[in-house]
Structure 1
Amino acid sequence: MFVCTGNIARSASAQYLAAAMLEDGSTWTFNSAGTGAMVGAGVARHIDIELAQRGAQYDQHLAKQITERLVRESALVLVMEKEHLDWIVHEWPQYRSKVHLLCQMARVQKQAGKRVDPVAFMMQYDEEPLAQDEVADPYLRGPEAAKVAVQRIQEALDIVVPWLGN
Structure 2
Amino acid sequence: MVKGRFIMNPFPEMQISPNDQLQLQDLANSIIMTNLDNYNTFVTGKRKVDTRRWKKIKEREKLVVYAERPESAHTAGSEPSGSGIPMILCVGVIDGKLEDTMYGVISEDLETMRIKASYVGDLSGAAVLDPIVLPTLEDPFQSLIVKWMELDIPFASTSLVTATMCT
Which TM-score bucket, shorter chain as reference? Answer: under 0.3
More helix by share: 1
Higher RCO, 1 or 2 (CA under 8 Å, sep at least 6)? 1
Normalised TM-score (structure 1): 0.25
Normalised TM-score (structure 2): 0.25
More strand by share: 2
